[in-house]
Chains A and B, each alone.
Chain A
């Protein structure tokens, strides 16, 4: 078997496909759905931070999407300048530029994995599996980066200690209570990760015997 064939894996004989349709459909459904979910998540908010203070009875909201931040960003920036935090528009600019392309790419990789009937499929699906964790990690990095690099010349610089709001749940900054919540987009990509695991399980179940059979055949031929 050539290297490329090792990656692509054996094709499924037509009669086997007809006979055991479900076996080969399962990985396609799970991995396909996972890929699709990733693509859909582009349009959904991943993470939300709500700030409550007496002066803001309805709260201030910041919704993070893969490529943008929506909500009361301007007002939050106005407030943040008192404590010397940089404008939120400066955060994760590289990530924001590349994110759509990246998410589409890893989504397509998952879909591509459907056509690879070999362990390489797992490698293709891996970025998508880890994606929500990478997203949260990156989010935390930026919050840490912003919350701990406050301009010491800001008016309120000595009233506010450097801080990192929690990724989930309640925090406190000055007179603000912060509530971080995971939004539909993030749940969707987490679901995709689970679907990928399940999909890979079925994938292995469907294609591993085929691959082993072929390898056995090749050894015998030699």
Chain B
């Protein structure tokens, strides 16, 4: 039986239609396998102890050399502060993009320009060199990923970064002036007009002190809408605004799409407004914030909020535009909806009609109907007001249904066939359930019902399906972002890698199949987005020689071959250097002790992958100068001596010879 199955599965593996030739159904006789290069494939399968299921999974994920992945997964790198780029289905790590943490391979944070980005993202004069990246958001056009930009937040310091996908480099780190902690970011509106950053832990506005006894009065919640200038590739601070919210802990956000475009849905927990203090005999936060059976989903009329901002109804707080809670209530742009206990995920369905909320301490997903929400707002179907005067919509009036999916439901994504997928943290599983309404005809199954579960290993947080949170989900693949690996890998000490697991969800008619495990040994990813790889039109080399990636335009200090020079102006020495396989020009740079040195280096290569590095000892510089790129460093030559600099990127057979001397005369 086993061999029969194996034979069947290796058919696609080899792409051979000649299986019959090798297939003998002898009674207990030795079965001849498929021979490749003198090896019996069946024997290899048997020796490696693979089941037919394993072989099938391998066939579905293996990419021969030179073949490309169908999808790219942009994953947060968690507290590594970076973004990971992973190919799907091969689950190969393609790149780690330096974002909130310096990354020397990319020279990220090791050149003057890139360090400036770190400085701009600092707090109160402190330049931060790490972040806790949580939720990446690909830019969208008409609710569909357009592959141009990626945004990601830093929960630890309430910051948002902008990554340009033409060169996969971070362009901006912007600090939220109001708070020190965010979570519901980054998410984008369907045309990337706004990048959303929802707060997390309640606190007084940054820099203000108030004792915890004044939590209700002085502590704030908030959500920020950063205006994105697509042309500049930057978030524009003075065109952005925030909304002051009650000091609940705002959690995840999802903007509406299609019918619900112009609205934003934002979870919250700790509506108990617990202030902890286990050491003083109070319930610890974990219990204190979990007392109420319902918390509040915030329903925000972003379109109207933006109008109010334009009309000048915001107030300047910490130099930032803020719509006060009072204004929001008065203008009717903020409503609450009860949502089950300590919700985590809030996910809008591809058609924008349904909002799926999972209360992590409740075994259901709760599905709200956008039309019903609108109707309830219009008819003022309120069950009351919260302590701060925000109207609370009647739960029964807006809920579509609740489905018991399992223990610890967190996040939901979608596929094109009307199935939704919810991660189950406590159960370590993924639940597949059917959507209702117009979706029901697509899957032909009982609407709003649980249909399948697959175990994942272990403690799944977010999950992501291919393009699963935009208006046009592809489904097909699902990646489970598991927090614990426990026994999945060879032990590498007490700090274990995280475990990404690829799941085949292509057909709703067969069970979900676990395909592949990928260890993440760099940080703890939270959320990821999966985009069709061909949507990203990234550069192979920079468009022109002398390109400044920071401005994404030609750098006036870039040089062509033959234009290299060294100019002294008083105590300042400015160097315009070129790099090509396998030398720098000039190779000897002479300065005097105490000189200020400004050093521009242009990679004048046009060949793909001909990147040069530039490492200067003692000064903590390491550049990655990709073909066409110009980078600049500035420093004061503090100490006399001889400093050999060299190319850190193995560029050619004479790479070792690609060096030069900085001579600092006494």
Contact = CB atoms under 8 A, between A and B. Distances in A.
B361 A159 contact: yes
Interface string B381-408: 0000000000000000000000000011
B52 to A, nearest CB: 23
Contact of B341 (A55, A158, A174): A158
B428 interface: yes
Contact of A159 (B288, B363, B457, B484): B363
Given A158-B341, A175-B428, A57 B287 contact: no
Nearest to A174: B407
A156 B361 CA distance: 6
Which one of B291, B342, B487 has the highest number of Cβ atoms from chain A below 10 Å of its Cβ?
B291
Nearest to A82: B286
Interface in B398-444: 407-408, 426-429
Contacts of B457: 54
Interface string A39-78: 0000000000000011101100000000000000000000
Contacts of A19: none
B641 interface: no
Nearest to B455: A54
A153 interface: yes
Contacts of B644: none
Nearest to B341: A158
A154 B361 CA distance: 11
Interface string B77-102: 00000000000000000000000000
A137 interface: no
A31 B532 CA distance: 79
A151 to B, nearest CB: 8
B458 A55 contact: yes
18 contacts: A54-B457, A55-B484, A151-B287, A153-B283, A153-B287, A153-B288, A153-B291, A155-B286, A155-B287, A156-B361, A157-B290, A158-B341, A158-B362, A159-B407, A174-B407, A175-B426, A175-B427, A175-B428
B70 interface: no
A125 to B, nearest CB: 49
Query: Ordered nearest first, which 5 A-B pairs have the shortest CB separation?
Result: A54-B428, A155-B290, A55-B458, A175-B426, A175-B427
B407 A175 contact: yes
A158 B360 CA distance: 11
Nearest to B484: A55
Which one of A53, A151, A156, A174 has the highest number of Cβ atoms from chain B below 10 Å of its Cβ?
A156
Given A155-B290, A159-B407, A175-B427, A55 B459 contact: yes
B293 interface: yes
Contacts of B342: 155
A58 B486 CA distance: 10
A151 B283 CA distance: 11
Given A159-B361, A174-B426, A175-B426, A57 B484 contact: no
Chain A binding site: helix, strand, loop or mixed by DSSP?
A: loop
Contacts of B287: 151, 153-155
B362 A159 contact: yes
Contacts of B487: 57-58
B8 to A, nearest CB: 30
Contacts of A174: 407, 426
Contacts of B407: 159, 174-175
Which one of A54, A55, A58, A159 has the highest number of Cβ atoms from chain B below 10 Å of its Cβ?
A54
Interface residues of B, number: 26
A220 B287 CA distance: 80
Nearest to B458: A55
A163 B291 CA distance: 20
Contacts of A55: 428, 458-459, 484, 486
Given A158-B361, A175-B407, A54 B427 contact: yes
Nearest to A55: B458
A149 to B, nearest CB: 16
Contacts of B486: 55, 57
Interface of A: 53-55, 57-58, 151, 153-159, 174-175
Contacts of A157: 290
Interface string B286-313: 1110110100000000000000000000
A43 to B, nearest CB: 32
Nearest to A159: B361
B503 to A, nearest CB: 15
Nearest to B292: A158
Nearest to B406: A175
Given A158-B362, A159-B363, A174-B407, A54 B291 contact: no
A88 to B, nearest CB: 19
B409 to A, nearest CB: 11
Nearest to B459: A55
Contacts of B363: 159
Contacts of B362: 158-159
Contacts of A53: 428
Contacts of A154: 287, 290
B456 to A, nearest CB: 8
B286 to A, nearest CB: 5
Which one of A57, A153, A155, A158 has the highest number of Cβ atoms from chain B below 10 Å of its Cβ?
A155
Interface in B341-372: 341-342, 361-363
A163 to B, nearest CB: 14
B433 to A, nearest CB: 18
A69 to B, nearest CB: 24
Contacts of B286: 155
Contacts of A175: 407-408, 426-428
Contacts of B408: 175
A88 B496 CA distance: 29
Contacts of B459: 55
Nearest to A157: B290
Given A155-B290, A159-B407, A54 B361 contact: no
A154 B427 CA distance: 19
Interface in B468-514: 484, 486-487
A109 B458 CA distance: 53
A158 B341 CA distance: 9
Which one of A55, A151, A157 has the highest number of Cβ atoms from chain B below 10 Å of its Cβ?
A55
A159 B404 CA distance: 12
Contact of B293 (A57, A58, A156, A158): A158
A156 B341 CA distance: 10
Contacts of B427: 54, 175
Nearest to B289: A155
B486 to A, nearest CB: 7
Nearest to B362: A159
B96 to A, nearest CB: 28
Contacts of A156: 290, 361
A55 B408 CA distance: 13
A159 B407 CA distance: 8
Contacts of A158: 293, 341, 361-362
Nearest to B286: A155
Contacts of A54: 427-429, 455-458
A42 to B, nearest CB: 36
Contacts of A151: 287
Nearest to B456: A54
Given A54-B458, A55-B458, A175-B407, A155 B361 contact: yes
Given A156-B361, A159-B341, A175-B427, 11 more contacts: A55-B458, A57-B486, A151-B287, A154-B287, A155-B286, A155-B287, A156-B290, A158-B361, A159-B361, A175-B407, A175-B428
A155 B287 CA distance: 5
Contacts of B290: 154-157
B341 to A, nearest CB: 7
A208 B547 CA distance: 111
